[in-house]
Structures are given as C-alpha cells and as structure tokens.
Amino acid sequence: MAIERSAAKRPNWSSGFAFIMATLGSAVGLGNIWRFPYVMGQNGGALFLLMYILLTIFICSVPLLCELLLGKQMRRGVIRSYEKINKKFSAFGWLCFITSIFIPCFYFVVGGWTVNYIFIYLFGTIPVNEISQATFETFAAQPVAPLIMGIIFLVLCAIFPFRGVNKGIEQANNIIMPLFIIMLFFLAVTGLFLPNSIEGLKFMFAPDFSKFTFTTVLTALGQALFTLSVGMGCLVTYGSYLKKDSDIIKSSGLLIIGNTIIAVLAGIMIFPAVFSFNLEPSAGAGLVFITLPKVFAALPFGQFFGLMFFVLLFFAALTSGISLLEVSIAAILEKFKISRKLATVIMSSIILVFMFPTTWSFGFLSGYKMFNMTFFEVMDFTASNILLPLNTIILCVVVGWILKPKMELLTNNKKFYDVFNFLLKFIVPPILILLMLFGLGLV
Ligand code: PHE
C-alpha cells in the first residue's frame, strides 16, 4: 500500500470510460432523482431546464474544470493539493475534508432507508398495497432499525474504496452505472405508457413564465453545483487519478450532458406515474418513500416495479456515497501516510458516530432543535448552504488568482483558455457569493 503515497505511483483510471463512469456515478445521486424533476416542475418547467443548462455551461463548468485541473496537476487528495500550492492553504483542504464528512452523515441515513425499502419489496415483508406514509414514519422513528440499515449502507459504500481505486471504485462504477442507465430507461418508458401520463410531462416541461423568478435562477445554480458534486473535492480526488494527457474538457462535457439527461429521465420515470394515479407531486423523502409506494400499490406487478425503483435509487446513492468517502480517505491516507484500508476504517467510523444523531433526528431526537432545525437538517443546511458554496468560492479564487493553472493541462486553444480564466477570476466568484447569501436567507 506504500505505493499510493507517492504521486509517481499513484493509481490511474484504467480508461477514459472508467473515469466518466466514476464521475457520473458521483454526480448522479439523490439530487437527480428526488429533487431535480420536482424543482423543475415548480420553477417554470422547460424554462428552468434551459436556465439550468445555461448556468451549468457558463458557471458550474468553471469550478468543475477547476477541481479536475487541481487534481490532475497536483496528483494528490484535497488537503495535499492545497498544501502543494501553499502550506498556508492547508485549512482550505481541511474545510473540504470536513464537508466530505458532513454530507455522508445525512446522505447515508437516506441510503439506509433505500436499503430498507429494497428488503420490503424483495421479501414482501409488508404487502405492497399496505406500504403507506405510516410505514415510512414508523420505520424512520425507530431507534435501532434505521441505524442498522444506515450501517449496512455505509459498509456497502466503504467496501469499494477499501479495495482500492481500480479494483474497487472503478469496478463498481463500471458495472453499476451502465446497469443504472438501462433500468432508468426501462422504468421511464414504462411510465410513459400509463394512462394520463401526459399530465406528468406537462407538470415537468410546460414553460410557465409566471413561476420564473430571480429565486429560480439561484435555485437552478445551487442544484447544478450540488448535483455535479462540485465544492468538496470529489472531483479533485477523482481528477488526481487521471493521466497527464487526459482531456478533461471532453470528460466534463460528457459528464454534464449525461447528468442532465439522467435527471430529466428520472422525472419522466416519476411524474407521469404520480399524475396517472392522481397523486400530489412533491420532492425529497416524501416523494420517494411515501408517494411512489402508493403508485406501486396501484400498479400491476407493483412489487417488481417497487423493487426495481428502490434498487435504482440505491445504486444512485451508492456510487455518490463511494465518491464522498473517497475524498476523506484519499486525503488522510497521504496526509498521515497510513494504508488505504486503515484510512477507510477510520473515516467510516467517524461518519458512523455522526450518523447516530442524524438517524435519531426522525425519532426521539426530533424535538431537539438548533436554529429551529433537527440535527439532520443542521448537517444538510450547513453542508449545502454554507460549506459547498464557500469551498467553491475559495477554489475559484485560489486556482484563478494564485495557482494560475497551466494552459496545456486544460486545452491548447488560447481563446478558450482566456474565456475560462475570465469567468474564473471575475464572474463566477461574485455569483457564488450571491448564491451563498441567498442560501443563508440574506438576499
Ligand atoms: N451529486 C450527488 C447527488 O446529486 C451528491 C453529492 C454531492 C455527491 C457532493 C458527492 C459530492 O445526489
């Protein structure tokens, strides 16, 4: 294992395909399935989609490329990458490291819920037409069961970084992502054949100028950053396993296109079905754990479709979970010169400790609130509204003004490089500051 600690012998993705599958695996997660389609429907439909695409291309692609560049140039995890620019920047790396602990603390709890629903639909422990809102609420409020499910999810995520970049992370994504895409296509096409499916499509796509406000723009931007896994060093870490000659512009383009298509397909999978059975559309846990089980109850072969959907959701969360863990594992492995296996055990244990209070936020700790939020909500809010934008602002400033990335690592097109640099230095940071103030409720 000593090999991984020096840049020269750092593991490399064995192909461009492996890199795309890994970054797509990181990007495609709960954000695509339970948030994007609903937010799109709520914020002007096709107009929102257009805005989202423009913001992704002109704003989000900049920090995205920055993260990949930083990783590719430094060939280190997030802490050592910042330290290599300047010892004094160590804290910026640690801030990303902390973010990579915060997010799993709530994300993995939800991952555990998907495992529970897989068990329910697989073994039929509860008859399909009896799975209700109460099923979810009773389960989430228990002290032990959701914790066990969360631990199962954590262990399943940890196995892959534990085995290594090629034998673990790469293999998992190479198999799971194509499977995920096939299943998603299958379910989306099935959804379209349901009676009245057109209503669901109208909800998602019909352009509605009245719903389109300044808030919409900032919502689209926040969603785009989160869903592309920008802002905590995931892409620095995955980028650090790239070969020097890899084309990150092409990969980023494919990543952005793939991630957007998958988010739209997720909506096509969900909303026609929801409207077909006259249910109310919503987002988040309520949509997937309460509304959709009602759809499966009414559908022929509901148990089969339910199982397939929750396996799909589990795959999405798993591949994102792997990338979340890899950030902190890669960071401490080289910082403290320990083995990959030990780093995995340490990071999983730290996350596990925090998963107790986040899990219990739905049970006996639900009354304990800070700033009117449960512990689960505090972790989510701090990570999504403070840490992710803050890390992204720091990244743009440090890379744009101090590191000044070498042109040949990015492109050989001088014009493209100039536009990139201009956006990076002058446009993206102020917009991100605005986003952060908005997230904090200050604008
Ligand atoms: N992109 C993932 C999603 O959409 C979440 C994530 C955020 C994963 C940040 C890694 C880093 O669900």
Q: From atom 10 of ligand 1, which residue's Cα is the shortest distance away? A: 229
The C-alpha atoms of residue 282 and residue 377 are separated, in whole angstroms, by 18
Per DSSP, the three-state class of 358 is helix
Decide: 31 and 202 in contact? Cβ < 8 Å: no
Q: How many residues does the chain have?
A: 443
**pLDDT of amino acid 233:** 97
The C-alpha atoms of residue 31 and residue 107 are separated, in whole angstroms, by 10
Decide: 421 and 409 in contact? Cβ < 8 Å: no
The C-alpha atoms of residue 25 and residue 408 are separated, in whole angstroms, by 27
Low-confidence ranges of the chain (pLDDT < 50): 1-2
| Contact residues for 207 (Cβ-Cβ < 8 A; gap 6+) | 44, 45, 46, 47
The C-alpha atoms of residue 264 and residue 257 are separated, in whole angstroms, by 11
Tokens of 262: 């998958």
The C-alpha atoms of residue 310 and residue 113 are separated, in whole angstroms, by 10
Atom of ligand 1 nearest to the CA of 226: 7
Task: Give the mutation target among 320, 326, 351, 384 for probing the ligand 1 site: most ligand atoms within 8 A of CB.
Answer: 320
Residues with CB under 6 A from ligand 1: 26-27, 29-32, 103, 226-227, 229, 232, 234, 320, 323-324
Q: Where are the alpha helices (DSSP H) in 75-89?
A: 78-85
The C-alpha atoms of residue 269 and residue 309 are separated, in whole angstroms, by 9
**pLDDT of amino acid 4:** 62
Mind listing the pLDDT tens digit for each residue in 271-290? Answer: 999 999 999 888 888 999 99
The conformation of residue 57, written as its DSSP 8-state character, comes to I
389 Cα–ligand 1 center, Å: 13
Tokens of 1: 């294992």
